[in-house]
Each structure stands twice: as C-alpha cells, then as structure tokens.
Amino acid sequence: MKIAISGKGGVGKTTLAACLAKYYAQKNYKVIAVDADPDANLASALGLEYGKASKIIPLVEMKALIEERTGAKSGEYGSYFKLNPKVDDIPEKFGIEVDGVRLLVAGTIKAGGSGCYCPENILLKRLFKHLVIDRDEIIILDMEAGIEHLGRGTCENMDMLIIVIEPGLRSIQTAYAVQKMAKDLGIKSLFIVINKIKSDEEKKLLKESLKDFEVLGELPYSDKVRQSDLKNYSPCASDVKFYKKIEEIANKIKEFITV
C-alpha cells in the first residue's frame, strides 16, 4: 500500500501519518514512513524524543550522499549528473527505526526555476519513485500541500492520496487545489480525512462544503493529541476515542487498496 497524505499546514497530516504508520507496524506490517515536509516533525509524532529528532538531517541536505549518488554537488545547476542515481539502499542505510516504523526524513523537492534540475531534486524524485513502485513495504508519505513535484510516474503508482482538512474553509480551499493537482498527475484515488472535529454541527457544515470529495474518516478534536506535541509524546495512543477512529481509517484503507 502506497499512501500519500497532503493538506494545508497544521491540519494534522503528520499526526495522521504517524498514527497510521504505528498502527500498521503494530499489526506486523513493514512500514516506511517518509517525512517529505520542509517543516519535518514526523519523527517526534512517531514518539522519538525531541533531542534525537532535532538531530536528524534530511536526505536533501546530505551533501556527500547527493554528490556520491548523482556525481554532482547539491545546488549545482546545469552541471552533468546521473539522471538515474542509485537509491534502493537508502531506506536501510539512512532510515531510522522508531517504534517498529522505518522513518525516512527526506525533505522536499524544491519548486520552480533552477530547483527543478538540481541533483538533490533528481535524487529525491528517484527515491520517491522507487518507494512507490518497487518496495514491498507499506509506504506512507507525509507531504506538504504541493504534490506537483512528485512526478507523474510516482503519482500514477500511488494507491491513495489522503487530504486532511480541519474545520475551516481555508483547509477546504487547499483541498480543492490539491484535488486539481491530483487529477492532472493521474492519482488513482483521493479521499478526505476530517480532523479536529468538535461537534456534530461542525461536521454537518463541513460535509456540505465537501460534496465533491469522498470522506474516508473523521477524527475528533482531542486535548490529549494537542498536548502530545507540547509534552513530546506520540499522539497516537494517547486518546482512546481518537485511536479508535485511526483504527477505522486504517482498516478502510486496507480494504479499499487490497480488494
């Protein structure tokens, strides 16, 4: 199963990515969770202590690795480099194990201008493609809202894109923008997860604005989840009601993809 999670900043993408990854790992699946957000914090959401999490260097900043694999220095534009660098050993060599989940802090493919053709972009694109197309593990990609840099091949092979929204029109606007990108990139199926719901009334109101989407699940607002960020523990099992909903979503995804 290859799943990408996108949406506006702060809606709960990382929380959902971490909880799904941990859930599947507990069920004895092999899971690679990929942090592809420039504001990387999947490590601590998985439960890694802040001191260790803050020391992780994203792949995109590993200059020696980029040079070794592509034959060019990172940031170099227009120089000669390999378009098909070796990436298949990266999850083993550079991923770290957090509570049964293999975490890969990748960083983000830079957009526009010279960013499109620099060696670190080539390496990351190739890596994402490898993860989505060649691996047997469950892959969960924690992404920023922009998905256009992933590339068509990667997107077409992704099983599912989940857009997380929270009660608020701005996150719905972002969902529509992501939906458009997803269509252009050939993503097979797209779902919404509504997070931080405080009341049925809120839920009803939101669903009216989401008629063009299929809702995969709903997650309640939880003080324990919010505090997990402050107190540096994983949000995933901190609240029974929240976790039940995660479980429901995880099972729905499995059913949808494996049928």
* Residue 60 binds ligand ADP, judged by CB under 6 A: no
Nearer to Mg ion, 6 or 14 (CB): 14
d(C-alpha 190, C-alpha 179), whole Å: 8
* Residue 71 binds ligand ADP, judged by CB under 6 A: no
- Among the listed residues 163, 196, 238, 246, the single contact to ligand ADP using CB under 6 A: 196
Beta carbon of residue 230, minimum distance to ligand ADP (angstroms, whole number): 8
Contact present, 214 and 188 (Cβ < 8 Å): no
* Residue 44 binds Mg ion, judged by CB under 5 A: no
- Among the listed residues 20, 219, 249, 250, the single contact to ligand ADP using CB under 6 A: 219
* Residue 13 binds ligand ADP, judged by CB under 6 A: yes
Contact present, 150 and 6 (Cβ < 8 Å): no
SS3 172: helix
* Residue 110 binds ligand ADP, judged by CB under 6 A: no
Residue 226: partners with Cβ closer than 8 Å, 6 or more residues away: none
* Residue 74 binds Mg ion, judged by CB under 5 A: no
- Only one of the segments 4-12, 106-114, 120-128, 149-157 lies at the binding site for ligand ADP (rule: CB under 6 A); that segment is 4-12
SS3 217: strand
Q: Which residue has the tokens 């997803």?
A: 182
Neighbouring C-beta atoms of residue 136, cutoff 10 Å: 6
- Among the listed residues 15, 121, 174, 179, the single contact to ligand ADP using CB under 6 A: 15
- Among the listed residues 44, 74, 154, 195, the single contact to ligand ADP using CB under 6 A: 195
How many angstroms from the chain centroid is the CA of residue 207?
24
How many angstroms from the chain centroid is the CA of residue 132?
12
How many angstroms from the chain centroid is the CA of residue 210?
22
- Among the listed residues 226, 247, 254, 256, the single contact to ligand ADP using CB under 6 A: 226
d(C-alpha 16, C-alpha 249), whole Å: 10
Nearer to Mg ion, 9 or 71 (CB): 9
* Residue 14 binds Mg ion, judged by CB under 5 A: yes
- Among the listed residues 1, 2, 4, 14, the single contact to ligand ADP using CB under 6 A: 14
Give which of 173, 169, 191, 194 is closest to 182, Cα–Cα. Answer: 191
Residues that bind ligand ADP (CB under 6 A): 7, 9-15, 41, 195-196, 219, 221-222, 225-226, 228-229, 235
Residues that bind Mg ion (CB under 5 A): 13-14, 37
